[in-house]
Amino acid sequence: MGDGHCHIEKMAGAEQVLKEELSTSTLQSFGERQSGCINDGLAYRTDHGPLFVKFNSNSAGVEMFQGEYESLKALRNTQVLTVPKPIKLIKLRNGSAMLVIEYLDMKQLRDFSALGQEVARLHLHNTEQGRRAKKAERTITAKELQYDYVDQYGFHVPTYAGYSRQSNEWNDSWVNFFARKMEDYVSLVEKKHNDRDSRPLWHSLVPHLSRLFHDVSVEPALLHGDLWRGNIAQTDRAPVSFDPISLYGHSEFDLSIMLKHGGFPSSFFNAYHSLVPKTPGFEDRYDLYSLHHHFQIWSHFGDDLVEDALGIVEPEVFKFAFGSGFKNSTLDLLRKLNRKLQTT
């Protein structure tokens, strides 16, 4: 998808706007331009120190960056997961957008155990906030104490997985929230790739989804939403993650992204599960959440296997998970889940 490259060239006057919005006389780029599937990124020296700026000239850029800004803000507020500080969202007259965030000197992640513990504490944070809130209600100072406990599934703004909009409308049921999320992807592949095969398979599966959750209580957890190897690194002090697509949902959904994309060693999962133990049915729910990631990759890259996807899926996982093509592998997984849930 060529939309993700050369945004800066399409955004005439962007750097002058940056200088004005940041109130800086110094704006000197350094390092290599980061050109991903969706955005361009560049580091700058400014009067206020180094900053990192993401550019997007697409019409969805403003809403996309608003979702990332709010995701970074929510994650930082937990004080358990290290992410760049969001500085400013800048809208240009032509509809383009820039997101200014803290510059972090990052290198390849080595300490996966530390990241595993951070992610576990992130997933436990909302539950702990709820416990504190209940305890505070029984004290005479309860009115003076505020705990931001969230008791629904969703997020307060839309976010984007690539150019796929995630509406994130609040829902009291995780199963219903996830089903709606999947329905959006089914509609997307119908629209983009003229698919007519996935909808009947998905609709036959929906009435049985609750069976996967009989033995587990799904407490809303704040999720990063896109934790794969391309979105993690470390500084000299700690692991760091970035490019979040946050929502309040099932903690296993975050883990499924790592498992599906590959590249996370056992040290990560051992550290994570030492704080958040596996619950019954984990493997079956992983198949369900994998379905989401299959649809996401299919919608982005099309029906057939393309080598471009190797950038987001580890090579050892790529052919095993998607060897029959993005469409066919998704349909195969839909059939597998239908067989499993309709015979139990």
CB 121 within 8 A of CB 254: no
List the one residue out of 39, 176, 131, 23 whose CA is nearest residue 87.
23
Strands (E), 247-315: 247-249
Predicted local confidence at residue 277, as pLDDT: 97
* Fold adopted by 112-342: Aminoglycoside 3'-phosphotransferase; Chain: A, domain 2 (3.90.1200)
One digit per residue, the tens of pLDDT, for the chain of length 344 reads 334 456 666 666 888 999 999 999 999 999 877 766 688 899 999 999 999 999 998 889 999 999 999 999 999 999 999 999 999 999 988 788 999 999 999 999 999 999 999 999 999 999 999 988 888 775 544 444 456 899 999 999 999 998 899 999 999 999 999 999 999 999 999 999 999 999 999 999 999 999 999 989 999 999 999 999 999 999 999 999 999 999 999 999 999 999 988 889 999 999 999 999 999 999 999 999 999 999 999 998 888 877 666 566 666 666 677 878 899 999 999 999 999 998 86
Q: 2-102 has which CATH code? A: 3.30.200.20
- Report residue 66 as tokens: 């608003």
Chain center to CA of 51: 22
- SS3 label, residue 20: helix
Q: Is the dihedral of CA 33, 295, 152, 136 positive or negative?
A: negative
- Report residue 16 as tokens: 């002058």
- Report residue 48 as tokens: 């206020």
Predicted local confidence at residue 143, as pLDDT: 47
Predicted local confidence at residue 1, as pLDDT: 37
Predicted local confidence at residue 13, as pLDDT: 80
184 is catalytic: no
Tell me how far CA of residue 114 lies from CA of 87, 117, 260, in angstroms: 26, 5, 21
Strands (E), the chain: 27-35, 40-46, 49-56, 86-91, 97-102, 159-161, 164-166, 221-223, 232-234, 239-241, 247-249
Beta-carbon neighbour count of residue 310 at 10 Å? 13
Q: 99 — phi, psi (to 5°)? A: -115, 120
As separate numbers, helices (DSSP H) first and strands (DSSP E) second, the chain gives 11, 11
List the one residue out of 59, 54, 49 whose CA is nearest residue 69.
54
Q: Which segments of the chain belong to CATH 3.90.1200.10? A: 112-342
Element (H, E) at 41: strand 40-46
Predicted local confidence at residue 144, as pLDDT: 47
Angle at 174 between CA 196 and CA 164, to 5 degrees: 45
End-to-end CA distance of the chain: 41
With tokens 């007259």, the residue in question is 93
With tokens 């929906």, the residue in question is 206
Q: Which segments of the chain belong to CATH 3.30.200.20? A: 2-102
Predicted local confidence at residue 282, as pLDDT: 96
CB 243 within 8 A of CB 226: yes
Q: Strands 164-166 and 97-102, how do they pair?
A: unpaired
Predicted local confidence at residue 312, as pLDDT: 63
Compute the distance between CA of residue 257 and CA of residue 46 in angstroms, rounded to an integer: 36
Which one is catalytic: 226, 243, 284, 332?
Answer: 226
Compute the distance between CA of residue 321 and CA of residue 330 in angstroms, rounded to an integer: 9
List the one residue out of 242, 219, 217 whose CA is nearest residue 229.
242
